[in-house]
Amino acid sequence: MGNLRTKDLSKIGYQNDQLRSLVINIISKHFKHHSKQQLFEMLHQIMADPASFLADEVTGKIAEKIIGKSGNPLFQTHALRDEPVFCKTYGGKWIEHSAKKQMELATLLPISVQGALMADAHMGFGLPIGGVLATDNAVIPYAVGMDIGCRMSLSIIDESDSYIQRFAYQIKQALKNYTHFGMEGGLDIRQEHEVLDSAVFNEIPFLKPLRGKAVRQLGTSGKGNHFVEFGELELLAGNALGLPAKKYTALLAHSGSRGLGSAIAQHYTKLATDSCKLPRQAQQLAWLDMNTEAGQEYWLAMTLAGDYAKACHDRIHSNLLNALGLKAICVVENHHNYAWKDKLADGQEVIIHRKGATPAHSGELGIIPGSMTAPAYLVSGKGSDQALYSASHGAGRAMSRQKAKESMTSSAMKKLLVNAGVTLIGGSVEENPLAYKDIEQVITAQHELIDIHGKFYPRIVRMNKD
């Protein structure tokens, strides 16, 4: 049969694993004396017009697999729009060209309704980090991202800002004992949370074997820019929390859904790319139709990953506050790297993907951090429909991790930390303060999107030591 291999089949549009396996079996049984060229021509014809082959006893099996017994195609090929849908960019002066081009590509998808690019944007996978995309009845796993439900959470503590100075040693010990960073491992003390009892673990067979790792990783953080830090929070007069305008001690964390979210992202991205064929440059943006079983299943799994990310934060904050005998008087938190069902200003129902962007509906609270030495802002949204009710999720990277590594030494980073009055436990030069954009510029660029209620200054920071 002319040495026809699975990668040859991929080149002519046979992307689905089951379909390729079927084709090779049929060819080896019925067409073993055909040349490679003859096979290519026949398979091209079947792919181009499968319906006309359905009556054939042999090739009809391939055609049926492409179309499906119910008449629904096994996969569909989609062209991009000629013109992008509307997309407003904030702080474009500080956004790299590649991130803008990546966002433009997303707005050419036939399912795209509207886009927005936040001031912290930089190049990512699928959507750029800081990209927001509204779609019509479809969810794009890679526009949600690998770390599903990654979130910020801030606990405001019933102590003045002087607490950190007085109890610095105890805080450092608690951070060392009750947080865990990195890809593997977990806390020494078993963590409990109701999310582990979710019925979704049993409803979706793919998720069953992931529960054990989720149990082990509960209450831990990943690597990269994830952190847990104590700092001083200065609340402004008339703040949305209704708390007195003064300085407080606060605990701020940034992390996501760990191995559970990553496995879900990989699994459903493959399902999407197998069933939704796009031009090569846009293939990462393959989607799942919400009317399909796969689309509904991803939504359930994504929601579970988001709940799990919140559970991790619940445990991180609870463990640290209990260890130090502290009490939170208010908690502010929300996801990025997630998709929400929402309505546009004209009433159209859409799914809004926020890849590294903070939800910012009118009055909705959020936290926008800077870096390990720069402040984080406590904000509320203004509900801008042009921004798809979103704001940035941080300062955003000014340089890649590799570039940050090459342009900063450990000793130079220590000087930056000392000058800022910050103690770092773990961490790496890849996350050094100069690797990030100026948070003040990023906040200024989105004055139409948010109101400011307070400013958090990091003092004792724990991160993964890469």
**Who contacts 345 (Cβ-Cβ below 8 Å, separation ≥6)?**
385
Please tell me whether 361 is known to bind a ligand.
Answer: no
Q: Where are the alpha helices (DSSP H) in 68-137?
A: 97-106
Other beta carbons within 10 Å of 458: 26
Q: How far apart are CA 216 and CA 212, in angstroms?
A: 7
Please tell me whether 325 is known to bind a ligand.
Answer: no
- Whether the CB-CB separation of 377 and 395 falls below 8 Å is answered with no
Strands 227-235 and 247-255: antiparallel
Other beta carbons within 10 Å of 378: 28
**Who contacts 403 (Cβ-Cβ below 8 Å, separation ≥6)?**
435
Q: Which two tokens stand for residue 451?
A: 């109101």
Question: Phi and psi for 144 in degrees, rounded to 5?
Answer: -80, -45
Please tell me whether 227 is known to bind a ligand.
Answer: yes
Please tell me whether 371 is known to bind a ligand.
Answer: yes
Q: Where are the alpha helices (DSSP H) in 291-390?
A: 293-324
Please tell me whether 226 is known to bind a ligand.
Answer: yes
Report residue 286 CA to chain centroid gap: 16
Please tell me whether 103 is known to bind a ligand.
Answer: no
Mark 444-456 as b/e (b = at least 16 C-beta within 10 Å): ebbeebbbebbbb
Does residue 463 sit in helix, strand or coil? strand
Catalytic residue from among 44, 393, 447, 453: 393
Mark 43-57 as b/e (b = at least 16 C-beta within 10 Å): beebbeebeebeeee
Q: How far apart are CA 393 and CA 120, in angstroms?
A: 7
**Who contacts 308 (Cβ-Cβ below 8 Å, separation ≥6)?**
149, 195, 214, 218, 257, 258, 260, 261
Please tell me whether 261 is known to bind a ligand.
Answer: no
Please tell me whether 229 is known to bind a ligand.
Answer: yes
Q: How far apart are CA 379 and CA 361, in angstroms?
A: 11
Q: Which two tokens stand for residue 9?
A: 């089949």
Please tell me whether 147 is known to bind a ligand.
Answer: yes
Q: How far apart are CA 137 and CA 349, in angstroms?
A: 8
Check residue 181 and report its DSSP letter: B
Element (H, E) at 239: none
Please tell me whether 53 is known to bind a ligand.
Answer: no
Q: How far apart are CA 150 and CA 256, in angstroms?
A: 4
Please tell me whether 396 is known to bind a ligand.
Answer: yes
Please tell me whether 369 is known to bind a ligand.
Answer: yes
Does residue 242 sit in helix, strand or coil? coil
Please tell me whether 254 is known to bind a ligand.
Answer: yes
Please tell me whether 408 is known to bind a ligand.
Answer: no
Q: Is 122 a catalytic residue?
A: no
Please tell me whether 13 is known to bind a ligand.
Answer: no
The H helix count followed by the E strand count for the chain is: 15, 19
Q: Which residue spans within 158-246 are E strands per DSSP?
A: 227-235
Q: What angle do CA 425, 263, 292 make, to 5 degrees?
A: 140
**Would you list which residues are annotated within the binding site?**
147, 225-229, 254, 336-337, 369-372, 393-396
**Would you list which residues are annotated within the binding site for Mn(2+)?**
147, 226, 254, 336
**Would you list which residues are annotated within the binding site for GMP?**
225-229, 336-337, 369-372, 393-396
Catalytic sites, residue numbers: 393
